Amino acid sequence: MPTDYSDLFRSHIVRSVARSASRLEAGEGLPAADERNQALHTLSYALDLEEIWPETRALLLALAPRMEQAGHRDDWIPYLSQGVQQSHRLDDISAEAALRWHLGVILELQSRFADAREQLELSAAQFAACADNRNQARALNRLALIARLQRQPVEASSLVDHTLELLEPEDTERAYCYIIKGALALDARTWEDAATCFNTSIAILRPGDQRRMLAWSLSNLGAALRQKGDTAQAIACYEEAIAIFLEVEDPVHLASARMNLGNVYLKAGDPQRALEYYRAAEPVFRQVQETLRLASIYLNIGMACRELGMWVESERSMKTSIDLFAQLELPEDVANVREEMGRTYRAQGQTGEAAQQFEKALAILRDTPADPAWIRSIETQLSEIRAAAPADN
């Protein structure tokens, strides 16, 4: 009797999918590179076989958070997209909602905000159709994050409030709500409110096992404490967050915590140490193509270099930051960098170039709901330059 190689192949794929999924579900950390590559190789075949979709779905959903945590972006998106298509064809709405959530998270990390919104809005609607309040809330929380990153605080706050209504009082996802609320308070420069929100998040997470989210909360608390002038406590928060990110093998958020620790040292008057942290973080953001964090770190590098008298690198980094923020359509951030570039030129005695940067910043901010105190600060710097300029004869 002839061998049916197609049946043998399917049997092999089924066994490989089940084996990979069970290994991932049993393990707590990130899979080793060879194990991850084997799982991806298996998925490349399994996603074409509708009859083994339940097994393939289990592998996809087990692998998804680990791939994001390990920093995979462009190489992982095709698998998630194909999984979304397969679940849609098979009318597996709960799987489709979950996969759209993972896809939306990756797209948000790449600063592809419109695409991320589309996936997360569909995910939230599908979870709602399944009466899955908790996962609907998780999707809404991510939409709130995107709204906050796009400088839309009213929308972000409304989404978080709706999320809190959906969640049970003891649900640890509430901690993420307070992370968003704290971030909005940071944006509003209400440092005490921000610290209160982040401490609430930490109190929810300390007793449990969500170490990664705990580290996010600690990093954010560090930012609030830095703004309050509590340097020692801010450093302690970032160092604890860094230790956790090393423990859970999260290279991207590790880099982010190091960048933020650099910000503490920059504000404390140690630009050399700050620059060391920035230089350690920048290649990670570049590797995973996280445009928003890249834009931020190039601004930070520019400010540290200014304090060290490294004028050429300061200007180059800030120009790169402006280009990236403009690409993301974040005008207030562009204005912020232009103000810092104006300060860089002014520190060199190039008052004409400084005035141009301040004028460009003001032109942007007058078309935004920017803090009036910020606008007045830039106007004051510009007035000082003009007052010091020699009068025309």
203-227 per-position pLDDT tens digit: 999 998 899 999 999 999 999 999 9
Q: What percent of the chain has pLDDT over 70?
A: 90
pLDDT band of 49, cuts 50, 70, 90: confident
CA distance 219 to 232: 14
What pLDDT does 393 receive? 42
User: Which residue reads 């209160």 in tokens?
Assistant: 196
pLDDT band of 172, cuts 50, 70, 90: very high
What pLDDT does 41 receive? 79
Do residues 232 and 188 share a domain?
A: yes
Give residue-wise pLDDT tens across range 307-352: 999 999 999 999 999 999 999 999 999 999 999 999 999 999 999 9
- Comparing 145 with 368, the larger pLDDT belongs to 145
Tell me the two tokens of residue 78. Answer: 């095709």
> Helix/strand/coil (H, E, C) string of the chain?
CCCCHHHHHHHHHHHHHHHHHHHHHHCCCCCCHHHHHHHHHHHHHHCCCHHHHHHHHHHHHHHHHHHHHCCCCCCCHHHHHHHHHHHHHCCCHHHHHHHHHHHHHHHHHCCCHHHHHHHHHHHHHHHHHCCCHHHHHHHHHHHHHHHHHCCCHHHHHHHHHHHHHHCCCCCCCHHHHHHHHHHHHHHCCCHHHHHHHHHHHHHHHCCCCCHHHHHHHHHHHHHHHHHHCCHHHHHHHHHHHHHHHHHHCCHHHHHHHHHHHHHHHHHCCCHHHHHHHHHHHHHHHHHHCCHHHHHHHHHHHHHHHHHCCCHHHHHHHHHHHHHHHHHCCCHHHHHHHHHHHHHHHHHCCCHHHHHHHHHHHHHHHCCCCCCHHHHHHHHHHHHHHHHHCCCCC
pLDDT band of 35, cuts 50, 70, 90: confident
What pLDDT does 31 receive? 63
pLDDT band of 26, cuts 50, 70, 90: low
The residue from 214, 249, 284 where one domain ends is 249
CA distance 63 to 191: 38
- Report if residue 83 sits inside a domain: yes
- Report if residue 97 sits inside a domain: yes
- Comparing 91 with 46, the larger pLDDT belongs to 91
The residue from 148, 183, 206 where one domain ends is 148
Do residues 137 and 195 share a domain?
A: no
Tell me the two tokens of residue 15. Answer: 């066994």
Q: Which of 17-26, 62-71, 138-147, 250-259 has the lowest mean pLDDT?
A: 17-26
Mean pLDDT on 18-25: 64
Tell me the two tokens of residue 280. Answer: 């350690």
What pLDDT does 2 receive? 46
Per-residue burial over 31-53, b = 16 or more CB atoms within 10 Å of its CB, e = otherwise = beeeebebbbebbebbbebeebb
* pLDDT for 236 beyond 80: yes
- Report if residue 220 sits inside a domain: yes
The residue from 249, 277, 299 where one domain ends is 249
Q: Which range marks the domain in which residue 216 is found? A: 172-249
Do residues 187 and 232 share a domain?
A: yes
Name the average pLDDT for the chain. Answer: 92
pTM recorded for the entire structure: 0.86
- Report if residue 268 sits inside a domain: no
- Report if residue 66 sits inside a domain: no
Tell me the two tokens of residue 277. Answer: 């942290």
CA distance 16 to 191: 51
* pLDDT for 5 beyond 50: no
* pLDDT for 170 beyond 80: yes
Q: Which of 240-254, 295-309, 317-331, 379-393 has the lowest mean pLDDT?
A: 379-393
- Report if residue 140 sits inside a domain: yes
- Report if residue 119 sits inside a domain: yes
pLDDT band of 25, cuts 50, 70, 90: low
- Report if residue 96 sits inside a domain: yes
What pLDDT does 4 receive? 46
CA distance 205 to 241: 13
- Neighbour tally for 208: CB within 10 Å: 11
CA distance 173 to 160: 11
User: Which residue reads 């003009």 in tokens?
Assistant: 386
Domain count of the fold of the chain:
2
Do residues 89 and 131 share a domain?
A: yes
CATH number at residue 197: 1.25.40.10
